[in-house]
């Protein structure tokens, strides 16, 4: 756990870029973006973009009935989290999330997350602290028809952030279609570009 952050830093060092770096993530990837944005390495990116981010199994943004998409082993997550707090990591390979995929998806996508992978693709356990500890410019976008998350809950969740985090609800977009539907993708690209134009790149 924590290897993904190291991999991002290694990539930035191997492929230096003179412009404004932006880290963008969708769903679980959005949770990882928040995790990185709250870390000691956060100034490596000028800003952060979270698309329908997964914040944690206990976040108010989650819809309670999303079993059609994924099955989450909450008791196992809690047990493994307690073990990890005692530095007992030998069971982190156990699966805690399984996704509802058809045969094609089973062959080409990740059908399940182990505890280690799920913890990497999420904020820290105290995701509220991650929000308050992220000080680079950040924005959140979520589809109005998101099937996994309550779009209206993101604004109050990020209200404690400083600087202020704008939350945009994209009309007529669901969870997956936020990244696939042509109109939704155009809206996301436009809003991200507009935010970038008004962002002053911080000193590194």
Digit-coded pLDDT (tens) for 60-118: 999 886 657 778 888 999 999 999 999 999 999 999 988 888 888 888 888 899 999 98
Average pLDDT over residues 7-22: 90
Q: Which residues contact 33 (CB under 8 A, 6 or more apart)?
A: 23, 24, 25, 48, 49, 50, 53
CA distance 25 to 53: 8
Q: Which residues contact 37 (CB under 8 A, 6 or more apart)?
A: 23, 45, 48, 130, 134, 136, 138
Question: Could you tell me the pLDDT band of residue 119, with boundaries at 50, 70 and 90?
Answer: confident
Position 100 scores a pLDDT of 82
**How many helices, marked H, and strands, marked E, lie in the chain?**
9, 7
Question: Does 198 have pLDDT greater than 70?
Answer: no
Q: Which residues contact 4 (CB under 8 A, 6 or more apart)?
A: 32, 120, 121
* Cis check: omega of the bond before 166, within 30 degrees of 0: no
Give the pTM: 0.85
Residue 94 corresponds to which tokens in the numbers above?
A: 């156990």
For 150-183, what is each residue's pLDDT tens digit?
999 999 999 988 889 999 999 999 999 999 999 8
Domains and CATH numbers, the chain: 3-62+122-197 (3.40.50.1820)
CA distance 139 to 158: 10
How far is residue 78 from each of residues 82, 97, 142, measured CA to CA in Å? 6, 13, 27
Contact status, residue 61 vs residue 34, Cβ threshold 8 Å: no
Torsional class of 182: left (φ above 0), alpha (ψ -120 to 50), beta (otherwise): alpha
């Amino acid at each position: 756990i924590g290897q993904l952050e190291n991999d991002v830093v290694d990539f930035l060092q191997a492929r230096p870029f003179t412009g404004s770096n932006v880290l963008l993530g969708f769903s679980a990837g959005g949770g990882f973006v928040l995790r990185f944005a709250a870390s000691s390495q956060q100034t490596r990116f000028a800003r952060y973009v979270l698309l329908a981010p997964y914040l944690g199994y206990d976040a108010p943004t989650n819809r309670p009935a999303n079993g059609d998409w994924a099955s989450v082993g909450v008791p196992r997550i809690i047990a493994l989290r307690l073990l990890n707090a005692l530095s007992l990591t030998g069971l982190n390979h156990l699966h805690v999330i399984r996704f509802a995929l058809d045969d094609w998806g089973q062959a080409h996508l990740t059908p399940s997350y182990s505890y280690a992978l799920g913890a990497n693709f999420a904020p820290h356990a105290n995701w509220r602290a991650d929000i308050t500890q992220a000080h680079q410019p950040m924005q959140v976008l979520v589809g109005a028809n998101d099937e996994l998350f309550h779009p209206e809950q993101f604004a109050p969740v990020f209200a404690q952030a400083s600087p202020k985090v704008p939350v945009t609800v994209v009309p007529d977009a669901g969870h997956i279609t936020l990244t696939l539907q042509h109109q939704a993708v155009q809206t996301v690209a436009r809003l991200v570009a507009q935010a970038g134009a008004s962002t002053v790149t911080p000193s590194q």
